[in-house]
Structures are given as C-alpha cells and as structure tokens.
Chain A
Amino acid sequence: MTDESTIIDVQGLVKRFGHKTVVNGVSLKVKRGEIYGFLGPNGSGKTTTIRMLCGLLRPDGGSGVCLGWDIIRESTQIKFQVGYMAQRFSLYEDLTVKENLDFIANLYGIRSRREAVDRAIERIRLERFSNQLAGTLSGGWKQRLALACCMIHQPKLLLLDEPTAGVDPKARREFWEEVHKLAGEGITSMISTHYMDEAERCHRLAYIAYGNLLTSGTAEQVVAGENLTTWLANGGNIHALQERLQGLPAWDQIVPFGNTLHVSGKDAETLEKSITPFMAAGYRWTRTTTSLEEVFISLMSRAGGD
C-alpha cells in the first residue's frame, strides 16, 4: 500500500492486441488533487492505458494500485470510485439529460438519487436542457453532460479520454475551469489531450508514443529535459529561408507560423552558427523559450514515428 496522497501508482503496464504491443511498460504515479495530462500522438496507447486503469481492460503485464485497489484483482472496487469519460459521446441520445443522469445514478446505487441528479444538473448549469434529449444537445453541452454523468457518484478520480475533442474554445475553457475547481476539492483528474494549451493547464504531464512513456513531469521539467534552443525569424520571405536552412546542420524543426519561422535544435552552438549568415540578410532573429509543441514533436520524431 502506497501512502494516502498517491492515487495512481502503476509499474510496467503492458497490453498486447494480437502480436501488436500497444502499451509497452508504462509506469505512472499520480498524486491526490493533481491534474495529470496524458499526451501522445494518435494510436500511441493513451486510451488503452486509461482503460487499463479503470478496469475496462486487463493488462497483460505489470502491476499497480489505483485508489488503493489492485488494478488487476480489484477492478470492481475501482469502478465505484472512478469517473470515466470515453473519447466519444457515450450516453443515450434517445434519453433526456435527466433520464441519462438518473440511469447512471441508479447503476451506482446512489441513495438520494433525485437530489444527486438535481445537484449534477445545477452544477453544470444544464437546468434549461434537463428535459431535452441528449442527442439534440450541442457538442459543448454533450461534453458537460458526460462530465456530469461521470461525476454523479462523487468519484475520487476522473479519467477523461480526450474530453475536449471537437469542442469550441469557450466550452473548453469552462470545462477546464470545472476541472480545476474539482482539483481544488481534492479530486484527481487524468486527462488525455492533443491540445498544447490544455497540456500547459495540467499540473504534471506524461508523454507517450508508440506504447512507450517518453517523459513525465511538470511542463517546465518536460521542456527543460528536452534541452532545445529555439529561434524566431521574421521579415522577408520566410519560405525561402526555410528551404535554405534545411540544407544546413543542427536544426531539428523548422516550422512556419504565419509570418514567423520557428527554428529549434538540440545543439545550441551549431544552430547559432548555421543561422548567423542569415542574420544580416534582412531577417530579424529573436531567441525564445521552447514551447511544449516543439518538445513533443522532437520527442515523437526521436521515438521513430512519422
């Protein structure tokens, strides 16, 4: 048994589908009240890992505890204290908001069901839609309803699998406000996402690619760990500049962002040497802090992906 403050503590999780190893020895440690970001390219094993944590899938290897219960032997107990939100909307579209909540509350055997449903509706401000069919809600409201459903039994841990995919920025912001509020109440969240701005909203991050955990830590630690130097160039024809720079050594990524070209590399000295000739050629160069996106692309290309 690990100490009280550790919610998830798993070592060497392995999952194979046929001959394909989808998760290859992933170890994670998540503390109470933390918002843990889970990042990685499509098909990297994020969903599979989350599904193993909540007892939907049985790991082929590895061990660990989630909320103090063994993830292999005691997955039933875990289910009572975990709220899982699947990648796609997985509630009944032909039931109303209230009926959906009522159904889930009943499955969890909540005693004062009506109050629990009303509380959930109030919390996410769904009163207006409570008698509307879930299928007729907009994307943002559907996602709120899904959050309300996985919160109804007052879980200690939320496992949210790409909860904000296809949701507009305002709804996304409100969603994150809610998650932070929950974190303040001591509820731990593990969220997988593709959005870098969301990654930065997490207390800690893990990056997984092709089933391997590549890095984890706070956003700053992750950025520092990759040790990239990034320069911005603007003014002049940046596309011509991109082509010419590609022939030179020491760059890892050259990405145009509108009128700016982002150039990053691991070897700071050689990179500076490579760009020096273009300093005078009408381009303005500024050294900047490396962003998470550049770090992740660098990690991913090193992991052998494309």
Chain B
Amino acid sequence: MTLVRIFSARRLVAMIIKEFRQMRRDRVTFAMMICIPLMQLILFGFAINSDPKNLPTAVLTADNSPFSRSIISAIQNSLYFKLVKQLTNETEAQRLLTLGQVQFVLNIPVDFSRKLIRGEKPVLLLQADASDPAAVSNAVAAIRLLAGPVLERDLKGILGDLRPGFTPVDLRIHPMYNPENITQYNIVPGLMGVVLTMTMVIITSLAVTRERERGTMENLLTTPVRPLEVMLGKLIPYVVVGYLQMSLIILAARVLFRVPLEGSLVLLYSASLLFIGASLAVGLTFSTLAKNQLQAVQMSFFFFLPSILLSGFMFPFQFRYSF
C-alpha cells in the first residue's frame, strides 16, 4: 500500500488550476473582480471629498459697511463658503436653510459696524446646517480662524488700539438641527437608507434567479400566470418587508437612540415607497441578468458600493469635481 501524504503539492496545484479554470468560465465574476477595485479607485480618488469647499452660503445683513464687506469677501476667499444669496429678510434665510439650498447663513446684525467701532464686540452669527456635520466642520473651523484677523486691516489709525491680541467680534456658531452634535442623529436615519438598499436589492436580485436555478420558473411558465403577475407578485411582499424594516428603524431611533422625528410621518412613508420601489426594480433587473445566485449577489454589491459611497452616509456629499 502506498503511503498517503498529508500534504501534496500536486493535489494543491490541481485544485488551484481547477479554480482558475472555473474563474475563467464565469465571465461575470471575473469582470466584477476587475471592475470593483477600479470603481473604488475612481470613487475614492475623484468623487469622495472629505474636505468639501464652496458650500452654499447666504448672508443676511442690513449693515452695508466696509467691515461687513471685508468679512464677506474673506469667507469667500477661504474657498469654503460660496455666497449664493445676500438677504435682508430673516424668514427667507431660515427658509433657504430648511430647504437645504444653503448650508450656512451668516448673520451680520444691523448695528454691527457701530458696535465694532465702539469696541463693544458685536455678535457675528453663523448658522450651520449640522445635519451633515462632516461637510460643515472644516468650514466652521475656517471661519473661526478668520473672524479675528480679517478686520485687522480695517482697524487702523485711531482704531489700532483695538487690534492686538483681542478679538474685535464675538463669533457665535449655531449648528442647526443637531446642536449637540449627537452622532446617532446622523447615523440612525442614514442607516434606514443603507438597510433598505441592501436588503431590497439583494433579496429581489435573488428572487427570480432562485426560481430559475431551482427549475421552478419552468413550471411557473407553463401555468396561465402572466409575466406582470409574476413580477408584481415577487415585488409586493418585499415592499411589505421594506416597510417593516423602516418601521423597525424608526421605532429604534425613537426609543433606543431618542432621535427626534420632525415633520410628517405619512410623507416619510409615502416618499419611501419610491425609494423601496426603485431598489426593488434594480434588484429585479439584476435577477433577470444573472445566471445564478452568486452572480446576482455580486451584481447587487456592484450597485451597493457606489450607492453607499456616494449617498453622503459615509462621506459628505460634495464632489471635488462637478460632473
């Protein structure tokens, strides 16, 4: 009897060769292995920007003085702020902030220059949309540094004694919507999108592929059932599942993490139907393209990666380059 070796290089080589041969046959998997790193490179390299600049800013000012103009041009020169609107109306400013059309409102009060000259340290208010703290934090840091030195040039002559080692203005920053900067407030609602995309796309991408792989599709086709009935029948249960997941996350957000819920719940639920529907449709498309369940899962990940990276959940949603 021949001795059976514990480890045989030959058997190992045989396994390796077989694995490579199978890899070559499965074109989709091979393409994914090449495409995913490439896509990551492009996304991380070009699109993801952890130091976003040119954030839309509105200036609310009734004080048209050289001082306020200096401040406005200074913050623009920092490149973090991009002045999109100059307003005199407080409610309009709040509306823009709420709509997300601007991320900052710089409020220069009426008596700003008067108080400045009198050395009364006037208040300069920056309201920041802190619902995306990663995006605004660098800009906030920049304005903190700017506020003092920017007026140095203007404060000369007899005003020179107001200068050294002393901040002429009182800069106050109001992070709106999440003033305490509680991480959960950003993560928990964002997770709803992540969970929904992940489960909706992956599960439906498997749905039709599984029927085909197990041969049950063939049986289904011989019955009078129509394609539309099959598709809707496949999607509707997952719409229910999607809503169940959503409710669970909202419940956990309220009870476990105490995330405040502002606005209409009905609107949130009805708008989510669009999101769920779109995710399911993407999954269903994959399931018709994929030859087997493995491919279906790979395709879902192929979709999942850019969708998460570009969603603003992990990185601020601001492009370094505008496409």
Say whether B219 contacts A90, CB under 8 Å: yes
Say whether B216 contacts A79, CB under 8 Å: no
Interface size class of B (residues with CB under 8 A): 10 to 19
Of B215, B224, B225, the residue contacting A86 (CB under 8 A) is: B215
Question: Which chain B residue lies CB-closest to A56?
Answer: B221
How distant is the Cα of A149 from the Cα of B222 in the complex, in angstroms?
A: 12
Say whether A91 contacts B224, CB under 8 Å: no
Say whether A104 contacts B223, CB under 8 Å: yes
Contact string against B for A residues 76-90, beta-carbon threshold 8 Å, 1 for contact and 0 otherwise: 100110101010111
Q: B residues within 8 Å of A by Cβ?
A: 214-225
Say whether A80 contacts B218, CB under 8 Å: no
Cβ < 8 Å to B, chain A residues 53-101: 54-56, 76, 79-80, 82, 84, 86, 88-93
Say whether B222 contacts A91, CB under 8 Å: no
Is A280 in the interface zone, CB < 8 Å from B? no
Chain B facing A: main interface SS? helix
CB distance from B127 to the nearest CB of A (A): 56
Say whether B215 contacts A90, CB under 8 Å: yes
CB distance from B276 to the nearest CB of A (A): 24
Chain A facing B: main interface SS? loop
How distant is the Cα of A108 from the Cα of B222 in the complex, in angstroms?
A: 11
Is A107 in the interface zone, CB < 8 Å from B? yes
CB distance from B203 to the nearest CB of A (A): 15
Interface hub of B217, B220, B223 (most chain A Cβ within 10 A): B223
Q: A residues within 8 Å of B by Cβ?
A: 54-56, 76, 79-80, 82, 84, 86, 88-93, 104, 107-109, 149
CB distance from A85 to the nearest CB of B (A): 8
CB distance from B219 to the nearest CB of A (A): 4
Question: Which chain A residue lies CB-closest to B223?
Answer: A107
Q: List, in ascending order, chain A residues with CB within 8 A of B224's CB.
A: 76, 79-80, 107-109
How distant is the Cα of A80 from the Cα of B226 in the complex, in angstroms?
A: 13
Say whether A56 contacts B218, CB under 8 Å: yes
Q: List, in ascending order, chain B residues with CB within 8 A of A79's CB.
A: 222-224
Question: Which chain B residue lies CB-closest to A107?
Answer: B223
How distant is the Cα of A93 from the Cα of B219 in the complex, in angstroms?
A: 13
Say whether B219 contacts A82, CB under 8 Å: no
Say whether B223 contacts A90, CB under 8 Å: no
CB distance from A68 to the nearest CB of B (A): 17
Say whether B219 contacts A86, CB under 8 Å: yes
Say whether B215 contacts A88, CB under 8 Å: yes
Q: List, in ascending order, chain B residues with CB within 8 A of A108's CB.
A: 223-224
Say whether A56 contacts B216, CB under 8 Å: no
Q: Which 5 A-B pairs have the closest CB atoms?
A: A90-B219, A84-B222, A90-B215, A107-B223, A86-B218
Q: List, in ascending order, chain A residues with CB within 8 A of B214's CB.
A: 90, 92-93
How distant is the Cα of A130 from the Cα of B221 in the complex, in angstroms?
A: 25
Q: List, in ascending order, chain B residues with CB within 8 A of A80's CB.
A: 224
Say whether B216 contacts A82, CB under 8 Å: no
Interface hub of A56, A76, A86 (most chain B Cβ within 10 A): A86
Question: Which chain A residue lies CB-closest to B226?
Answer: A76
Say whether B223 contacts A89, CB under 8 Å: no
Question: Which chain A residue lies CB-closest to B229?
Answer: A107
Say whether A90 contacts B216, CB under 8 Å: yes
CB distance from A251 to the nearest CB of B (A): 43
How distant is the Cα of A67 from the Cα of B223 in the complex, in angstroms?
A: 16
CB distance from B223 to the nearest CB of A (A): 4
Question: Which chain B residue lies CB-closest to A93?
Answer: B214
